[in-house]
Structure 1
Amino acid sequence: MNTDGDSIRRSFAQFFEERGHQYMPSASLIPAGDPTLLFTSAGMVPFKPFFMGEQTPPRRRLTSCQKSFRTTDIDEVGDHKHLTFFEMLGNFSIGDYFKKDAVAFAWELCTGLFGLEPERMYVTVHLDDDDAYELWRNDIGVPPERIYRYGNSDNWWGPAGLEGPTGPCSELHYDGGAEKGRGQHPATDEMMTPTSSPPCSVSRLRVVPPPSRAACHPNCDCERFVELWNLVFMQYYQDLEGVRTPLPAPERGHRHGPRAGRRRSAGKPNVYETDLFRPIIDAVCSLTGTNTVPTGYRLRIRVVAEHARAASFLISDGVVPSNSDRGYVLRRIIRRAIRYGRQLGLDRPFMTESPTP
């Protein structure tokens, strides 16, 4: 299989179309009819009315490649995986299949179509989600030492906005090798030990003690483990007061890893080495008068490239710089790109320049 971005998009969509999913074109980065969100921040945002029973979906199985934007990780932009703008490949079930088929689809696509080595795959599940744990262990055959349980901060998703569908999630991670980490990963029982049980109307919000800073594990912030896929089991509705109630039917949705999934499927060590970013990185280098990334300037070049790309997509969807709301966010990332550009010696207006061939 070709590993460029377009081929991965097509292969993902075709995989799920062959399994009864209707392909849905990407919605705008400006959410329609959702005042709780500034931007479309996840693949399921356009489908919130379907999950909440407000509209009837065209089919109970859907798939999409959704433009998404969020600034929650803006200070991390420039590392190996964090972005503000990204495309989220997703497959969704509106009251059709649930955990069993979702898990099987994810595993088949990653290890079959994309050809990733099963022995390098690690799984995370929510502390209270025994069903997901058993599916990965018994149906798929992932060894228990490669299945980790985490609390709500890592394995509970949503809602997108102040209210909406939410639920536990299960993630697939790819092990890039111990040489990329900072030590041995801890035993799974170390990650599973609860410390407290705050009251909750839906689930026991148990807290997992943090592992040793010298240890690697699937949710470590080093570059060893890459999140490929996030299976979100949207079982509950969370209202504006934070109260969760079960959805009328076990609605199901999950998404392919938004930032890391495609670059790992493309076989690249980080997102900036993929064909989605390489030309932009080269253009920034050209503006600085070099054909290569200067030593010590990698982070600055990546930030300029990422923010320029994100700003272009926001502007194309109708956002303009201003002092409030969406316009302020756009202005912020443009100013941030300019600031890092000046650190590269670009003391002239450069955001609209074309690089010298």
Structure 2
Amino acid sequence: FGDYFKREAIEYAWEFLTVEIGLPKEKLWISVFEEDDEAEDIWVNEIGFPRNRISRCGAKDNFWQMGDTGPCGPSSEIFYDHGEDIAGGPPGHADEDGDRYIEIWNLVFTQYDKQEDGYLKPLAAPCVDTGMGLERLAAVLQHENNNYDTDGFKSLVKAVVDLTPKANGIKTDNASVRVIADHIRSTAFMIVDGVIPSNEGRGYVLRRIIRRAIRHGHKIGINKVFFYRLAPVLALEMKEVYPELKKALANVEKVLKREEQRFAQTLDQGMSILEDAITNLKGSEIDGETVFKLYDTFGFPVDLTADVARERDLTIDMPGFEVEMTKQRDRARQAGDFKTTQKGVDISDATEFLGYEQLENSSSIQALIKDGELVDSIEAGDSAIIVLAQSSFYGESGGQVGDSGVLSNKEISFEVGNTQKQKSGAFEHHG
């Protein structure tokens, strides 16, 4: 903060790209904020960059801010020109959306504190936020204009194609293939870092990414559990720089496989409902009630439904979805203070879920419930609910069906027909 600013940041970026990496200067293009004369002057007068290869762009592209107020400032971006045989124009031009000019470096000059009235108050100690696109730079150095054609992706992309039916003729440039290759990387490393699929926080981010990959697999004809099979390919590719992935490979495969098996139970049903809704659509927007039903009953993340809609040039009714979500929250509040579905029973302690690590476990019993009341014991033939302190059974939530199985000790066994997860986190084993 305050030690160096625009001049030094621009010089360092330029030196790294043209001297250390050795990119041809004539292959680069620069953008600056339209009001940032200082940055343009540095590029032209101190770096010696030709003014006719500098684009002055508006705030949408070249002005960063955290929010309506707070730290903000102009940016300057460096683009690589992949050549005239690829469609697209320079930044700031009408045809800039093509792939010819690709941003490889971004310099954000955080020099203002935006006030509520819009005034840009200069910061006492401005700073630089710089970002380089590692995979984009790798593509440039390998003379590729697409990240998925680089050595970091080729083996994954090929592995995905090999999982598809040959009769489908799926190629390496297929969009779904690339989505899956990208998503196995992000999901595997999240799991290595200790994240597991859930309906909250980063666990839900992981679940959304996995389910999106699975849906894309079905799009290209992979109708079997497949996603976890890509983890060993990734581990082999990354073994030198990320040896921890190989060490955790068995757990990564287990978590991915279990999550896919669960979602597979509802994916086909959910897609059928979504296809029916699209077929009967009178406008171009999928109603919020359908989006909510897919989310609540079939475990479809909203962005997955939005993906399908975009592929058909449709939109989703987000305000309508939020209305349905509010109704659900109100229903939950009106249910009272009971922490289980059983009236008069308060189970406040959450069950520790062990299903991602093991399929069998020992546990103490937190509660026995019969006819809606807590009891001390149950007898042969009784219909009852058992709440455990720890369980490998998955509790039904987010559209995923709860597990069934058997609870037993040395003397008796209890057949579990369904497992329900309650708001408190307690798992009810119904049998």
TM-score computed with the length of structure 2 as normaliser: 0.49
1:271-290 equivalent positions in 2, closer than 5 A = 271-288=147-164
Per the alignment, residue 306 of structure 1 pairs with: 182
1:25-40 equivalent positions in 2, closer than 5 A = none
Q: Which has the larger radius of gyration?
A: 2
Aligned-residue RMSD, C-alpha: 3.0
Per the alignment, residue 225 of structure 2 pairs with: 349
Per the alignment, residue 47 of structure 2 pairs with: 140
- Within the candidate set 185, 194, 197, 1:318 is matched to 194
Structure 1 residues 139 and 293 mapped into 2: Cα distance closer, same or farther (>3 Å)?
farther
Alignment gaps of 5+ in structure 1: 1-93, 192-210
1:231 aligns with 2:138: no
How many matched pairs? 232
1:98 aligns with 2:5: yes
Q: CA deviation at 1:250?
A: 2.1
Equivalent pair of 2:161/2:171 in contact (CA under 8 Å): no
Instruction: State the secondary structure of the residue aligned to 1:284.
Output: helix
Q: In 1, distance between residues paired with 2:203 and 2:133?
A: 27
Show CA shifts across 1:160-218 (max 9, x none).
x8876431110011111122024x669xxxx5xxxxxxxxxxxxxxxxxxx44xxx4xx
Instruction: State the secondary structure of the residue aligned to 1:306.
Output: helix
Instruction: State the secondary structure of the residue aligned to 2:31.
Output: strand
Instruction: State the secondary structure of the residue aligned to 2:102.
Output: strand
Letter in 2 for 1:175: D
TM-score computed with the length of structure 1 as normaliser: 0.58
Instruction: Report percent identity of matched pairs.
Output: 41
Alignment gaps of 5+ in structure 2: 237-431
Q: CA deviation at 1:123?
A: 0.3
Equivalent pair of 1:228/1:264 in contact (CA under 8 Å): no
Q: In 2, distance between residues paired with 1:271 and 1:281?
A: 11
Q: In 2, distance between residues paired with 1:143 and 1:338?
A: 48
Per the alignment, residue 282 of structure 2 pairs with: none
Structure 1 residues 293 and 115 mapped into 2: Cα distance closer, same or farther (>3 Å)?
farther
- Within the candidate set 166, 171, 178, 2:84 is matched to 178
Per the alignment, residue 340 of structure 1 pairs with: 216
Give the 4+ runs in structure 1 shifted more than 4 A.
Answer: 161-164, 238-244, 354-357
Q: Which 10-residue stretch deviates more, 121-130 or 136-145?
A: 136-145
- Within the candidate set 29, 32, 39, 1:122 is matched to 29
Structure 1 residues 249 and 176 mapped into 2: Cα distance closer, same or farther (>3 Å)?
same
Q: In 1, distance between residues paired with 2:217 and 2:114?
A: 42
- Going by fraction, where is helix more abundant, 1 or 2? 2
Letter in 2 for 1:287: L
Letter in 2 for 1:350: F
Per the alignment, residue 9 of structure 1 pairs with: none
Letter in 2 for 1:177: G
Q: CA deviation at 1:349?
A: 1.3
